[in-house]
Amino acid sequence: MKKELIEEAKTLVDSEDFAKTSAKFRELMDKWKAVGSAGKQHENKLWDEFNEVRQKFYDRRNAYYEELHGKQDENYNAKKTLSDQAKEIADKKEYTREKYLFSLFWGMITVIGGILLVVIVTAAKGTLLMRSEEIVMTVLLNIPMLLIFQSMALPFLLKYEAEKGRIALAAMIGGIVFVVIFFFKMFETAGIELIDIVMNQMYLKNITLWASIYIISIVIWFLSLKIAEGIMLKKEF
């Protein structure tokens, strides 16, 4: 009977269905115990043969699960790394957007505060410092100027350390001012008063002009935000 159990065990030893075959080996073990002893002369030899077959299967099964667990650990670590990288990217983008929105918020507060100061001084002195139309135009013009200034300043401040960023920003603004002055002087030399031409177009009902100014400044602001996000992705927090 035990010889039959050994032969049956040998048919299972190369099975790849480890869960199902493990259950069958447990059944064979229960049958082995139920049969009883084959006698002192044969029992040890039969057990060694049966146990060797069992152990061969269990060694294969254990090696399979160790390899499987190793691959699962590798997959987990790879996914964890990707998850950490995705979180870092999201954090850096969120940090950049917060910087832009925070700067925009305080810039708007400054613009509104300046206008309110003019209104308060006008009310206190009874002297008209600015007409209502001029106040509206000032607000309308300051908002795109604020957006464009932010668009130039923030990438520099995010790319470099605070001190280096301020130096680079000052150099850039100085260069822009020089180019603008040079540009206007060229027109002035040619007898063209460019400032007068521009100011003559700056009236409230010129919807096309104001729409163009706002569209351009908003597009520049968003492009600057994307550039700043790219800068932050290359930096270590």
Q: Looking at this protein, which amino acid is placed at residue 216? A: I
Helix axes 162-189, 132-159, angle to 10 degrees: 130
Look over the chain and give the mean of its residue pLDDT values, rounded to a whole number.
Answer: 77
pLDDT digits (tens, 9 = 90+) for 124-147: 666 655 566 666 667 777 788 888
pLDDT digits (tens, 9 = 90+) for 4-39: 888 888 888 888 888 888 888 888 888 878 877 767
Distance, in Å, from the CA atom of 28 to the CA atom of 54, rounded to the nearest integer, reads 10
pLDDT digits (tens, 9 = 90+) for 56-96: 888 888 888 888 888 888 888 888 888 888 888 888 888 88
Cβ pair 53, 15 in contact under 8 A? no
Contacts with 225 (C-beta within 8 Å, 6 or more apart), sequence order: 96, 97, 100
Distance, in Å, from the CA atom of 88 to the CA atom of 74, rounded to the nearest integer, reads 21
Distance, in Å, from the CA atom of 129 to the CA atom of 115, rounded to the nearest integer, reads 11
Tell me, yes or no, if the pTM score tops 0.75: no
Distance, in Å, from the CA atom of 176 to the CA atom of 164, rounded to the nearest integer, reads 18
